[in-house]
Structure 1
Amino acid sequence: MGVGDLKWNQPEQLEDLLCELVGWDSRTGTMGEIEFSTRMLKKLLELHYFQENSSHIHFHDAGKGRNAVTALYRSGVTNKTIVLISHFDTVHTEEFGAGLEDFAFQPRQLTEELKNRMAELPEDAQEDLASNEYLFGRGTMDMKMGLALHLHLLERATVEKWPINLLLLTVPDEEVNSSGMRAAVKELVELREFYGLEYELFLNGEPSFSQKPQDPNYYIYSGTIGKIMPSALFYGRETHAGEPLSGMTSHYMASYLTRAMEFNADFVEEAYGERTPLPVCLQQLDLKEDYSTQTSHHCAALYNVFVMRQNADGIMKIFKDTAVRAMADCEKDYKAVCEREGVEPIGDINVLEYRELLAYANDKIGKGEVQEILEGVMADDTLDERKMSMLISDRLLLHCQELTPAVVLFYAPPYYPAINSSDNELVQEKIALAQKVLQDEFQVEAKQVHYFNGISDLSYVNYDAADSGWQSYQHNTPVWGETYSIPFKEMQQLQAPVLNIGPFGKDAHKLTERLHKKSAFIQTPHVLEKVIESIFVPIKA
């Protein structure tokens, strides 16, 4: 077979491949996500190399019937290996509405249908649609094209017998909890040992995301931003609404911490001239189930914090300091009201980490009963890991009411550690090469971003081998080791730099999600080929 016989090489072939992959509806949590791995197996077996080496394709259990897929091209002349990382799940499509949802996974048809609804679209989307330079559809940008590009590279390598190994890894559930990538980490370690591989580079294919609205720039990423979710259970004292000062509502307590957390500059980091977004509250939930004139004594809040160099231990320290100050203000204002009304205050507010509550409960009611409480909450499959974390803290505090009023600080999943390879010589060389190719051959200026701002699965490789701050996350995550865990020790064994080169697109997770066709089908494939060739040519020499 020669280059002319390749299946996924020409722009038209790549567009056909993308449309096929997008057509495999794989929204997170659906049957399509479960079935995608089997479809991917069949697609890989279209390549002669994998027909002869089907044992190089592996499924890796990611829970709930889903599987991550790896496919190894082994050159036989070197152990040097590039890992190609992508995810195949997409977000849901409710925003398309009844009239368009049937077209969400048919890029060509959707693009034509949108031309009949031009006036309904934002002005920039109208311009791109009229230009015929974009392909619209759920997953076109985020990130089925990244997977298509990796399949293209895999085919080229197997046919042309590239003197380097390529390990394709595509995973489910990146969009919610990254269950696929977290499951795949241990498998990457095992595959490395089994085949004697040496990982040189983790190359992701997430698209170029805008840094701000209407951003036209193309970006290459040498790292990925981290995200962590410090959370709090607020447990006051219930009372009748007619006697409000006989208790303390959880919402009164929560208002002080939420105000202290939102836009709090203490959490902001700067690195390489880039800055993390300010923290915000993602959810506040009243745990009182029914309406009555009894006040709500328990609620919970989840706060989003982005990180660059901070670990879980450092974030918890800042979070606890913030909570202690916020509850001091709450107490001060509450006591002033009590004094004004001639009422005796109910007591001071305790601030404690989940690990402290767990230890206290184990001593008071015994580890066996504590375990029963945890298992009882986690047995409810209608709950996600965030609600479970809230309810576990709530149930434990129910048995320790002498600690109330109290705020329990915990971590709720997911956690994406920040990873950065900007100072790595190989990454610097490959970014410079990619920039030169794009400028010289396509007159495209590619800018480097040090932290991918869209959250990515690169968070789970190349973790700092000397860091132990992750243990704070383990000890303060109520569902740790049961329904959620992160393989930190294995992540620390995957010591190779990270790089993200993907196609240009716009409006991920929106009705107007779209992919720039020239970038996707011509420019990015060429750049990726040049980058990988520059790695294996020295090996060959």
Structure 2
Amino acid sequence: MSDLLWDKPESLRTLLCELVSWQSRSRTEGEINFANNLKAKLTELQYFKKNSNYVNLYEAGQGRKVVTALYKSRESVETIVLISHFDTVGTEEFGNLESLAYQPEELTKALLDHKIELPLDARVDLESGDYLFGRGTMDMKMGLALHMSLIEKASIEKWPINLLLVTVPDEEVDSAGMRAAIPKLAQMQVEHGLDYKLFLNSEPSFSQKPGDTKYYIYSGSIGKIMPAVLFYGKETHVGEPMSGLTANFMASFLTQQMEWNPFFREFDLGESTPLPVSLQQKDLKINYTTQTPYRVEALYNVFLMKRNATEIMNIFHQVATESANACNSAYMKICEREGIEPIGKVNVLHYEELEYYAKGRLGPEVVASLKDEVIANPSWDDREKSIRIADILMTNCQELGPTMILLFAPPYYPAVNASDNPAVIEAVDLVKKIGSEKFDLDVHQIHYFNGISDLSYVSYMDDKQEWDSYERNTPVWGETYSIPFADMQKLNAPVLNIGPFGKDAHKRTERLHMESAFHQVPVMLESLVRSMFSLKEIVE
């Protein structure tokens, strides 16, 4: 055991702090550099010094890389895929301590001089000495450190099992890293003759409500999809308001119906999805003028359990149609009151209908050119580009207005669940037993991880007809955004998430519970891996 670098709590803590110190905020140079740093760190292991071809980097766009490290046993084709992400959110909220955000030991000490600034629960945790503070300690570089420790031990003790570590960038934004990794996983499955038996993530255990300190493991991950709409009205001068129809007026009807709408809520295995809310609503006018706003966009967050994109679009269409009818009714009453003729009736169209119409009216080449013009704008992200493509097509087909154009804006996370899988049932029972017997810890199972995770991109079960709806109604599909649905279907293995307990992800007070991270979870993960492959149970 003396040859192991990362098998003790102290060495795990040191490894974590080193990983955190490689700051890797999404969309920064740090995120780009992290992959090379990690590859160099992994090749410190004797196994990868001898098998350097088993540590690889793969392109994930914008200079970012996916890192894979394969421990390949000569005795088995059965494989556990260890999934993590290494990007983090920003650190602006750390204020005058921002320079220490990626230095956990120093930050935790420094916070003692600033504890009056902290919420009471964070202050109590700080003074207890049980937590390590810092950006990425909880979400989720500790998960990566645990996977590195597992693969090291497997390589030295020559476990009859394959472990494939996969860690990705960009989970916090669009999951470009995981979407890029999926085709590589499908390729490696064939190239190395691997039989994937489990996709094991180690995202942290999240509290279910403020003050909740229960420890959770997850046998699935909630899905997320973003229905969006371009409201296209009729412009006019503010001095002649009844000569037009503002998009704000139109949007008010749909947004009221979308916010907290129970039609979108799902129930499964005693759990339910959070209700939908609007994530963004804004006028597309760049500058202030006295022209009324006639183009407005809105993005709505919808969580999923069993439903797919087609089902969500059908519900979205129903809600939008009812909202358009209500809008038309209210508008007609106003026109009657003012004694004027209405300018038109608000319609509802899907983006695919708009594009089909535009190609017929303008020609496919013109439509392609208009889309390219939007795609080429470097200052717009995929969400903005999606709306702007619909907008530029509508601007050239204004006879379709006033209308609500329904579409999808990235990202899309399909839901995944393995709660009824026999191997997962056994794994959950084992982890509960280990927690109880070794640590007097109650382990609670949740069927859908509600923090959204990259597990959404494995074990996809719907047929092509279902994902076609997403492709056809996502304006940037195949240009700046895509999902490898076909390769996802090839990765047909159950999922499980077991990670360390922590609090306040994405907050200044993000912190990791050290007993959970350095003592409890390492034992539970190793016991799980050993049990799945009929290895001798871990002996303390």
Q: TM-score, normalised by structure 2?
A: 0.99
Query: CA offset at residue 516 of structure 1?
Result: 0.2
Deviations 1:137-192 (A, max 9, x none): 00000000000000000100001001000000000000000000000000000001
Question: Structure 2 vs 1, CA of residues 441 and 269 (structure 1 numbering), >3 Å: closer, same or farther?
Answer: same
Deviations 1:334-353 (A, max 9, x none): 11011001111111111000
Match of 2:237, SS state, is: coil
Distance 1:399 1:353 in 2: 16
Residue aligning to 2:326: 329
Match of 2:475, SS state, is: coil
Which of 137, 159, 163 is matched with 1:162 structurally?
159
Specify the code of the residue in structure 2 equivalent to 1:366: G
The reply on whether 1:126 has 2:120 as its aligned counterpart is: no
Residues 530 and 536, structure 2, Cα contact 8 Å, conserved in 1: no
Specify the code of the residue in structure 2 equivalent to 1:528: L
Residues 163 and 539, structure 1, Cα contact 8 Å, conserved in 2: no
Specify the code of the residue in structure 2 equivalent to 1:485: S
Specify the code of the residue in structure 2 equivalent to 1:213: P
Distance 1:490 1:320 in 2: 29
The reply on whether 1:114 has 2:111 as its aligned counterpart is: yes
Residues 218 and 448, structure 2, Cα contact 8 Å, conserved in 1: yes
Residues 226 and 459, structure 1, Cα contact 8 Å, conserved in 2: yes
Residue aligning to 1:447: 444
Aligned residues: 537
Residue aligning to 2:50: 52
Question: Structure 2 vs 1, CA of residues 55 and 482 (structure 1 numbering), >3 Å: closer, same or farther?
Answer: same
Query: CA offset at residue 471 of structure 1?
Result: 1.1
Deviations 1:472-495 (A, max 9, x none): 110000000000000001101100
Residue aligning to 2:261: 264
* Match runs of 1:431-470 below 5 Å: 431-464=428-461, 466=463, 468-470=465-467
Query: CA offset at residue 215 of structure 1?
Result: 1.1
* Match runs of 1:245-256 below 5 Å: 245-256=242-253
Residue aligning to 1:88: 86
Distance 1:319 1:38 in 2: 43
Residue aligning to 1:42: 40
Distance 2:536 2:44 in 1: 29
Query: CA offset at residue 260 of structure 1?
Result: 0.6
Match of 2:60, SS state, is: strand
Deviations 1:389-417 (A, max 9, x none): 01000000011111000110000000000
Distance 2:118 2:22 in 1: 26
Residues 234 and 406, structure 1, Cα contact 8 Å, conserved in 2: yes
Specify the code of the residue in structure 2 equivalent to 1:218: Y
Which of 474, 499, 505 is matched with 2:471 structurally?
474
Distance 2:463 2:511 in 1: 41
Residues 196 and 493, structure 2, Cα contact 8 Å, conserved in 1: yes
Residue aligning to 1:387: 384
Match of 1:537, SS state, is: coil
Specify the code of the residue in structure 2 equivalent to 1:96: F
The reply on whether 1:302 has 2:315 as its aligned counterpart is: no
Moved more, 459-468 or 362-371: 459-468
Distance 2:534 2:403 in 1: 62
Deviations 1:444-477 (A, max 9, x none): 1010000000000000001105463111110000
Distance 1:4 1:445 in 2: 32
Deviations 1:224-276 (A, max 9, x none): 00000000000000001111111000010001000010000000000000010
Match of 1:492, SS state, is: helix
Structure 2 portions without partners, runs of 5+ = none
The reply on whether 1:213 has 2:210 as its aligned counterpart is: yes
Specify the code of the residue in structure 2 equivalent to 1:48: Q
Residue aligning to 1:287: 284
Distance 2:475 2:536 in 1: 48
Distance 2:296 2:137 in 1: 39
Distance 1:453 1:221 in 2: 9
Residue aligning to 1:180: 177
Match of 1:5, SS state, is: coil
RMSD of aligned alpha carbons: 1.0
Distance 1:246 1:468 in 2: 43
Specify the code of the residue in structure 2 equivalent to 1:477: T
Match of 2:474, SS state, is: coil
Distance 1:499 1:277 in 2: 21
The reply on whether 1:63 has 2:30 as its aligned counterpart is: no
Report percent identity of matched pairs: 57
* Match runs of 1:20-39 below 5 Å: 20-39=18-37
Specify the code of the residue in structure 2 equivalent to 1:396: L
Query: CA offset at residue 539 of structure 1?
Result: 11
Distance 1:91 1:466 in 2: 34
Distance 1:411 1:172 in 2: 23
The reply on whether 1:244 has 2:241 as its aligned counterpart is: yes
Match of 1:69, SS state, is: strand
Query: CA offset at residue 496 of structure 1?
Result: 0.2
Distance 1:466 1:472 in 2: 11
Specify the code of the residue in structure 1 equivalent to 2:342: P
Which of 338, 354, 368 is matched with 1:357 structurally?
354
Match of 1:187, SS state, is: helix
Residue aligning to 1:5: 3
Distance 1:61 1:289 in 2: 35
Residues 465 and 493, structure 1, Cα contact 8 Å, conserved in 2: no
Residues 223 and 499, structure 1, Cα contact 8 Å, conserved in 2: yes
Residue aligning to 1:527: 524
Deviations 1:199-232 (A, max 9, x none): 0000001000111111111000000000000000
Question: Structure 2 vs 1, CA of residues 466 and 387 (structure 1 numbering), >3 Å: closer, same or farther?
Answer: closer
Moved over 2 A (4+): 465-468
Specify the code of the residue in structure 1 equivalent to 2:164: L
The reply on whether 1:488 has 2:480 as its aligned counterpart is: no
Distance 2:290 2:355 in 1: 31
Match of 1:151, SS state, is: helix
Specify the code of the residue in structure 1 equivalent to 2:483: I
Residue aligning to 1:418: 415
Residue aligning to 2:220: 223
Question: Structure 2 vs 1, CA of residues 137 and 538 (structure 1 numbering), >3 Å: closer, same or farther?
Answer: closer
Distance 1:362 1:63 in 2: 30
Query: CA offset at residue 4 of structure 1?
Result: 2.2
Query: CA offset at residue 5 of structure 1?
Result: 2.3
